[in-house]
Amino acid sequence: MKIGKRLVTAAMLLWVSAGLMLTGCEKKEEEPWVPDSTALQVTQDGHITETIIDRLDESYYSSSELEEMVRSSVKEYAQAHGEGSVSLTEYTSGGADVRIVLEYAAAQDYASFNNVRFYNGSMLGAQMDGYRFETLFQIVAKDGTVSEQRVPPDGPVSHKEYQVLVTDRSHKVEVPGNIVYVSAPSQVQERRIVTPLPVTEEIDSSAVSEEEAGLLYILYEYE
C-alpha cells in the first residue's frame, strides 16, 4: 500500500510539474501584434505583410471601386512576377473606413509593387544598394527605451552584424528582431515595433541629407 501511495504521489507531482512547465511556456509566448494603423510587418524569412487602414474620400471613388483597383493591380503584378509575389488577403470596409491586408513574398516585391524605396537585409547589402545612412540615430536600450540623444551614423554603421530595414516614414514597422538603433525621430514599442515621427526640425546638412531625411532606418539583431 505504501508503494502504491508513493507511486500515486509521484505521478501527481509529475502532473503538477508538467502543468507548471506548460503554464510557464504559455506565459512566454507573445501575442501576435495586430496593427491598429497602417503598418508593415517583416518576418525573419523576408515575408512582408502590409496592413493599410484608412478612410475613403468618396468624392474620388467608392469602396467597391477601390477594391476592384487593388485586386486588378495585385493580379497584374502576380502575373508578371509569379504567383504569390503579392496577394490580397483581406479587404474590409465599413462606411468610409477600409482595411486592406497585402502579403509580399520578398522586399523587392513590396518595393516594386508600390514603387517605393525599401530594403531589408544585411548592413553590407544595404550599403551595396546605395543607402548612405546619412541621418541621425537614436540608441534603443534592451528594455526598449529610446535615447533622447541623436548620434551620427558612424557608430551604427560600424556594426556589420546588424540587420537593416529601410523604408519611408509612412508606416509603423515591426521587425523580426530587437531594435538597437533607429533613425530619429521615432518611437519604439516592445523593442520590435517602430512608429516614425514627423520630421519637423530643421535638417542639419552636415549630418542629414535632405534625400534621406524622409527615410526610416531600423537596425536590429536576431535573438
pLDDT tens sequence across 171-220: 999 999 999 999 999 999 989 999 999 877 555 545 566 677 789 999 99
Residue 166 and residue 128 in contact, taking contact as beta carbons nearer than 8 Å: no
Q: Could you give phi then psi for residue 84, rounded to 5 degrees?
A: 90, -10
Going residue by residue through the chain, which has 223 residues, state the pLDDT in tens, using 9 for 90 and above: 444 444 344 444 344 444 444 444 444 566 889 999 999 999 999 999 999 999 988 777 788 999 999 999 999 999 999 999 999 999 999 888 999 999 999 999 999 999 999 999 999 999 999 999 999 999 999 999 999 899 999 999 999 999 999 999 999 999 999 999 999 999 999 899 999 998 775 555 455 666 777 899 999 999 8
Q: Give the pLDDT of residue 206.
A: 52
Domain boundary among 52, 87, 115: 115
Q: What pLDDT shows up at residue 110?
A: 98
Does 61 lie in the same domain as 109? yes
Residues 211 and 136 in one domain: yes
Q: What is the CATH number of the domain that holds 37?
A: 3.30.70
Contact yes or no for 208/184 (Cβ under 8 A):
no
Residue 130 shares a structural domain with residue 190: yes
Q: What are the phi and psi torsion angles at 10 (to 5°)?
A: -65, -40
> How many domains does the chain fold into?
2
In a domain, 160, yes or no: yes
Whether pTM > 0.85 for this model: the answer is no
Maximum Cα interatomic distance, the chain, rounded to a whole number of Å:
85
- CA 117/CA 168 separation, integer angstroms: 7
Q: Which domain holds residue 133?
A: 116-223
Cell of 58: 468618396
Give φ, ψ of 73 to 5 degrees: -65, -40
- Examine the fold and report which residue of 96, 115, 134 is the final residue of a domain before the chain moves on: 115
> Which letter does DSSP use for residue 190 in this model?
T
Q: 139 in a domain, yes or no? A: yes
Query: End-to-end distance of the chain based on CA atoms, in angstroms?
Result: 51
In a domain, 137, yes or no: yes
Q: Is 61 within 8 Å of 68 (Cβ atoms)?
A: no
